Structure formats: C-alpha cells, structure tokens
Amino acid sequence: MKEIFVVALLIGAVSYFASDIVFNRRYGFVKYSGIELYIVGVLFSFVTDKNIISSLHIFVIVALTFIGFSFGIQFDRNTVKRITFKELSFAFLFSLTFFVIYLLLGLLGFNDNREVLSMILSMPSVSFLFAIGEKRFSVVSSEISIVFVLLFGSFLKFGFSTLVVFLLSPVFAFVLFFFEKALNKEEMNIILFALLLIESSLSASLGFDPLLSSWLFGFVFALLSNSQVFIKSFDALERPLFLSLLFFIGANFGSGFYELPKLLSLILPALVKPAFGGLLFHSNPLLFLPIGAMGIAVAAESNSSKIMTFTVISYFMFLFLSEVFRRKFLK
Amino acid sequence: MIYLLASLGFGALFFMLKTYLQLNSFYLIAFSLGFLILISFFTGKFFSKIGLPAITGYLITGLILSPYLTGGVPVYVLKATKFIEEIAIVFIAFQSGMEIELKFLKQYGKEVIRLTMLIALFAFAGIFATSLFLLKKFPGNVLNTSIILGILLILKSPLSTIAIIKESNTNTLFGEKILGIAVFKDVLVVTLFAIIVPLLTSGNSSAKLIVYGLIGSVVFGILLGFLISLYMKHIKAEAHVLIFLLALFITELSYIHLDPLIISVIVGFFIKNFTVYDNEFSKILNTFSPILYLLFFTLADSGIDVRNLIPLIPVSLLFIAVKWVFTMLGISLGTKDVSLRKYGAIGLLNQSGLSLALIVLAEAAFPVEGPIIKGIVITVIVLTDIFAPALFKKVLVKVSTEEAN
C-alpha cells in the first residue's frame, strides 16, 4: 500500500511543480487550487483497493484537527478584542440564514447528509476574500460565520453531546498553556502535535466533530497565551494539509461519479449565497462564489464520496469562474 | 521533578483511557502515538535535567511501553508506524551527510580513514576470536557465526552520534572525528558485508547485487542532491513538501536494492559541499527533525522482545567489553590525538541501527547461525543504547571544556 501511496504522492509533487510552470502567474487562483493533487487522487482511486482508501480516513481526521486548531489560534486576544458587535451579529445572521436556507433546500432532494451540505455551502472562502483585498468587515464576518456554521452543523449532527466538546477541548488548551513557560518553541510544537493526535482520535471515536473540537482547542489556547508562536509553524503546514485533503477526496472519487449529474444540480441553489451575500454585504456577488478550504475540510470529514466529489467539483468550478472574472474583483 | 511527574501522569492516563475507552484499531494508532510522544518527551526532559542524554530517555520509554513489557503499545501500532522510523532514518542521515565537510575531509580524511580501518581490524579480530571461543556449542558453523558477528559488531551508530553531539551543544574536533569514523564504518561494513556474505555462502549473484547497490546508492544520492539544488534554485515554493516526499521515496528504494542510508548521507553531503543551499536545506530538516528524532529513538527498541534477550546479556556484555578494549588498541596505534586516545573508545561504543537491517540479510543467508547472531547483536544494541549515549555525552562535554582551556 505504502509503495502506491508514495508513487501517487510523487506524481502529485511532480504535477504540482509542472503546474507551477504551466500556469505561471497568469492564473493565480487556479495555480493554487491544488487541482493536480485531486487528479492524482482520482487516478489513485482507480488503481487501489477501497479498504486502503478508507484506511486513510484516520490521517484525514488528524489533518482536520490541525486545520481546526490553526483556524482557532487566529482568534487571539487582540483579534477578539477588535471584533465589533456589528461584525458578530452580521456573521451570526449570515451563517444562520444560509444554513437554514440550504437545510430547507436540501429537504427537496438530498435528505442524506443535508446538514453537511448546508455547512459546506454556507461557508464563505475567507482566504479568497482576503486575497482579493476585500474590506476587513467582510473578511472578519466571514471568519466568524464559519465558526457559527461549525456550531450549527455540530449541534444538528451530534446533538447535545457537542456540549462535551466544550468541556474536553479547553482541557487540551490548559495542558498546552501549563507547559508554555517551561518549554521552547520546538518543544511546544512536539507537545502540540501529540495533543492534536490524541484529540483527533478521541473526537473520532467518541463521535464529536474534530473540526469544532480542535477549533475550540486553538481558540481557548489563543485566549490564554501567545499563540503567535504557533502561527508561523502552522502557516508552513497549511498547504500540505490542504493538498492532502484534496488527494484524499480525489481517492474517494469512485461512487461519487455516478451521482454527479444529480449533485451538480445543487450548484443552482449554491448560487443563492452570492445573490444574498452581495445584497447583505453590498459587494460584488461573485465574491461569495468560491467554496473555501473549510468547506473542503467539512466535506472530507463527512467521508461521503458523493459530498466530497460535489464539493471539490464546485470548488474548482467556482474558482475557475472567479478566475475569469478576476479583473473585476481587483481594486 | 515536574517532568518525571508529567511523564508518569501521562503514562497513567494513557493506560487508564486505553482500558476505559476501548478505541478501535484505527483510532488507537493516533491515540497511542500521541501519548507515546508525550511520555517519551517528558522522560527525555527528565533525563536531560539529571545530566543524561534525552535519547536514553526516549529509548527506555520505548522499551517500557513495548508490547512485550507493559503492553502499552500494541504490535499492530508499531507495524503501522514503521514508516515513521524509515523516514526518520532518512532525515537523520541527511543531517549526518551535512555534518561531513569537504574541508574537514581534506584536512583529516586520511587520518579518519586510517583510524577507521585500524579500529575495524582490531575490533573484528577481538570479536571474531571471542566468538570462536564462546559460541562453539551453538548450532551451525562457528566460523560463519564469528565472521558475521565480527563484521556487525564493528558498527557504531552515526544517528545517535549526531543526536548526542547536537544535544550536548558542543562543537569539538573530537566529535567531528567520531562522526567521521562512524560514517566510514557504515560504508566499510556494508562493503565488507557485500563481499564476505556471498563468499561464505558460495554465491555471487547477491555479491553483484550488493556492489550494484553500493555504487547505485552513491550515484542516486548525487543525482537527488543535484535535483534538490535545482529545485531550490528555480522553484523554491513548498520545498519542505518536496523534501518530505523525497524522504518517503528514498525509503522505498531498498526494493530496488539501493541503500536509503547511503543515498541520504550522500544527498546531505552533496548539498552541504557542492551547492549554496545548505542553509535552506538545513532549516527544512530542522522543522521535521525534533519530532522525528523523538519518534525514531522511542520506536527503535519498542519492537524488541527484551524477555528473550535476558539469557544473552552476560555474553553480550562480554562482547561489548571486547569491542571497547580492541577499539582502544586500534585508536592508540592509529592516532596521536590525545582526546581520541583517551575517550575515543567510549565515543565508538554505541551499536548502529544499521546492524538491525544487516541482520535481516544475515538471517536469510545463514538460516542456522542467524538466530544466535541476531540475538547477540540486538542485545548489544539494547545494552549500549542504555548507557553508551550518556557516556558519550559526558565525554563530549569534558573534551569541549579541555579544548576551551
């Protein structure tokens, strides 16, 4: 298994470097989309056993906790202090509105996993908004709205057991904080890595949302301490983790393919977000087209090939559209 | 004291949660690995505080939590995490290669090679003679057993050498020479093994294969080093992803009879001495190496069933003593360097992990003599892992103080 995995990763790396040359600077967003890793994943799905692919799920759970934690530590004390009531209430309304809309739309034809689909579709792409120089209000509100969507989804999926996460995750943050003064940066990274491994396995086996629990871990730690120590390390990890998720989603291509026409019909309701988003934020509606990294993470967490295939195809499609209209976005 | 308490506390929590939660095998891998890192890390910190090397703490944690002692880490978790050990070897070998400077080789290369040859010759002679005398009653041809044991017990671990040098925070000529000898010993033993084993088993196809492996590994190492430097020159982006993928790739090259260890050392050596990207490469290695070091040394001995090794402890201790005495003899004949003559034999005591890889080949080539060779070599590795790093660290600090004065 490992040999195929290594070969596939190498093909991915080579195709990534090739894409670096092919796309050059003319197609910035497409270049960073990670499409080559997805394609390698799809090819991998044809040459390997389904059991092997499903055994990769544990690595995905670990990657998700890293992504969740990395998102959580961005809400440090200074950032939280600067969040206005307007941004908070806006984010709440934005996330609730779209989450409910998509939940209701989901009832029309996609009863299975409708809460996951609602989560994915109602999450904005923060990095995209940031990259095109959108105003602070939109960026911050979008970040907070992702947290609300995670909360809504988690309560809907796991019910009140979600509350246990609010007790468990801070324990990890306190453990990390306890050793902060005694250890240096490298050593703290080791402790964090170990704690995230433990947290990922506990969340997965106890039936909690790994993304939400690790976000909470990162958030509580950022409030307690100087999280800047970790932000740099996580910056370096962010892209490899994202690329691994795309590879995993590609590897789960199989059954999702046959449902593709039905799934693609969901793209129409997905357009609700840009329409309403434009009205709410008084911005170009196309800004709210792309599905972001967190949407991809939620899709990977679902472990449903249908959801994953739909999400990633929408992600590439919206990204491509955004690329076409890119000149319009740049101010 | 807080580190010891943390280690014990996490250990207790690990066993408690493991029993109470009954995690499925998938999740138990991440769960065990997480706790293994925490327990090992704090044991290492405790050892550092009391003046011993952290890696001794990691090794002891691995032994204690092994499936055969406390059963903390199940066998299948060790199997599932085997690839971590393999990647760690590549990373540590990259760093070993980067430690060998051309300037050092030009200045001390001849001395180091001459010393390596002498030490190897004496250590081999001592172990060979002891083995001939002690292992007569064991099954198989005692001559074969003695030759193979003699070759395998020459080895000294470059991986632990580099770890201890880094940990001791010293920069001594003595340390550099010991590392140089350790690396040359690896090359010498792999070459000897390639020539002697086919001669003893009267086959030559595998000899050709091993010689091809040696030359191929060197060529491949140079090629990879060149490709990495090209990448760093022209693309740069995501270099740490590339290096990690390459490490994974190198671990797989043993399937085509190339040696991942030699390839990695050559890559490091090439980048250090023939490119201008050594600093960038070193930075990338440093992002991964702390966690990989810890995991490598924790997992290294955790797969060994120490219960089977207990009867072999007296004979293995004798072999360690013989290796030490004869190494000292080789050093005193080969150099006038005072530090090396005084402490060199202690620095060269730690047995190499490479012997674990060569045991597998020896077992296949000598099915009858294999088990006793394997038993003794593994016991020597475990025993030297416990005390040799601590002695080497002490010696390094001492030499560093003496050189400063």
* Predicted confidence pLDDT, tens digits, chain A (331 residues): 455 555 556 555 655 555 555 444 444 556 667 777 788 778 777 776 777 677 677 778 888 888 888 888 888 888 888 888 888 888 888 888 888 888 887 655 555 677 888 888 888 777 667 666 667 777 788 888 888 888 888 888 777 777 777 778 888 889 888 888 888 878 888 898 899 889 888 887 877 788 888 889 988 988 888 666 666 666 666 777 787 788 888 888 766 566 666 666 666 666 777 777 777 666 666 667 667 788 888 888 887 888 888 888 888 877 777 767 665 555 4
Look at residue B129 in the predicted model and tell me its pLDDT. 92
DSSP A48: S
Q: Which of A16, A55, A197 sits opposite B33 (nearest CB)?
A: A197
CATH number at residue B179: 1.20.1530.20
B29 and B114 fall within a common domain: no
| B28 neighbourhood in chain A, CB within 8 Å | 201
Look at residue B270 in the predicted model and tell me its pLDDT. 92
**Cα gap A121→A272, rounded to integer Å:** 9
B244 touches chain A (CB under 8 A): yes
Residues whose CB falls within 8 Å of the CB of residue A8, separated by 6 or more in sequence, listed in order: A40, A41, A43, A44, A247
A205: distance to nearest CA of chain B, Å?
6
Nearest-CA residue of chain B relative to A201? B27
Look at residue A12 in the predicted model and tell me its pLDDT. 59
Look at residue B206 in the predicted model and tell me its pLDDT. 60
| A176 neighbourhood in chain B, CB within 8 Å | none
Tell me if B248 and A16 make a contact (CB, 8 A cut-off).
no
Average pLDDT of the segment spanning B307-315: 84
B95 and B238 fall within a common domain: yes
Closest CA to A220 of A254, A244, A185, A195: A195
Sign of the dihedral defined by the CA atoms of residues B96, B99, B105, B111, in that order: negative
- Using pLDDT thresholds of 50, 70 and 90, give the confidence band for residue B128: very high
Structurally, chain B folds into a number of domains equal to 2
Mark residue A34 as left, alpha or beta (left: phi above 0; alpha: psi -120 to 50; beta: remaining): left
Residues whose CB falls within 8 Å of the CB of residue B14, separated by 6 or more in sequence, listed in order: B32, B35, B39, B72
How do residues B2-23 score in pLDDT, each as one tens digit?
888 988 998 898 888 888 887 7
Nearest-CA residue of chain B relative to A204? B27
Q: Which of B23, B45, B290 sits opposite A205 (nearest CB)?
A: B23
Look at residue B40 in the predicted model and tell me its pLDDT. 92
Q: Which of B33, B238, B248 sits opposite A239 (nearest CB)?
A: B238
Higher pLDDT pick, B218 / A159: B218
How do residues B229-256 score in pLDDT, each as one tens digit?
888 887 776 677 778 878 878 887 777 7
Closest CA to A211 of A307, A12, A71: A71
Look at residue A25 in the predicted model and tell me its pLDDT. 46
Q: Which of A13, A58, A186 sits opposite B27 (nearest CB)?
A: A58
Interface residue ranges in chain A relative to chain B, Cβ cutoff 8 Å: 2-3, 6, 9-10, 13, 16-17, 20, 55, 57-58, 61-62, 179, 182, 186-187, 189-191, 193-202, 204-206, 233, 236, 239-240, 243
Nearest-CA residue of chain B relative to A235? B238
B38 and B122 fall within a common domain: no
Look at residue A184 in the predicted model and tell me its pLDDT. 81
How do residues A301-326 score in pLDDT, each as one tens digit?
887 888 888 888 888 877 777 767 66
Q: Which of B26, B35, B237 sits opposite A198 (nearest CB)?
A: B35
Tell me if A57 and B26 make a contact (CB, 8 A cut-off).
yes
**Cα gap A202→A165, rounded to integer Å:** 10
B56 and B101 fall within a common domain: no
B374 and B237 fall within a common domain: yes
B24 and B89 fall within a common domain: no
DSSP of A226-252 = -THHHHHHHHHHHHHHHHHHHHHHHHT
Look at residue A23 in the predicted model and tell me its pLDDT. 46
Q: ipTM surpassing 0.90, yes or no? A: no
Considering B80, B105, B139, which residue would you say is the last residue of a domain? B80
B335 and B351 fall within a common domain: yes
Tell me if B38 and A6 make a contact (CB, 8 A cut-off).
no
B296: distance to nearest CA of chain A, Å?
14
B215 and B235 fall within a common domain: yes
Q: Residue B369 corresponds to which amino acid?
A: E
* Mean of per-residue pLDDT scores for chain B: 83
B187 and B312 fall within a common domain: yes
B164: distance to nearest CA of chain A, Å?
17
**Cα gap B296→B61, rounded to integer Å:** 12
B31: distance to nearest CA of chain A, Å?
5
B187 and B328 fall within a common domain: yes
Considering B61, B80, B99, which residue would you say is the last residue of a domain? B80
B40 and B105 fall within a common domain: no
Considering B49, B80, B111, which residue would you say is the last residue of a domain? B80
Look at residue B134 in the predicted model and tell me its pLDDT. 86
B76 and B96 fall within a common domain: no
Q: Which of A299-313, B269-283, B350-364 has the highest mean pLDDT?
A: B269-283
pLDDT at B143 over 70: yes
How do residues A211-253 score in pLDDT, each as one tens digit?
888 889 988 988 888 666 666 666 666 777 787 788 888 888 7
Q: Which of A21, A60, A201 to mutate to test the interface with B (most CBs of B within 10 A)?
A: A201
| A203 neighbourhood in chain B, CB within 8 Å | none
How do residues B278-301 score in pLDDT, each as one tens digit?
888 888 888 787 888 888 878 877
Q: Which of B41, B240, B251 sits opposite A191 (nearest CB)?
A: B41
Look at residue B207 in the predicted model and tell me its pLDDT. 59
Least confident of A162-171, B138-147, B172-181: A162-171
Q: Which of A2, A197, A204 sits opposite B34 (nearest CB)?
A: A197
| A206 neighbourhood in chain B, CB within 8 Å | 21
| A236 neighbourhood in chain B, CB within 8 Å | 240, 287
Residue pair B305/B288 in contact (Cβ under 8 Å)? The answer is: no
- The residue segments making up the domain with residue B379 are 83-404
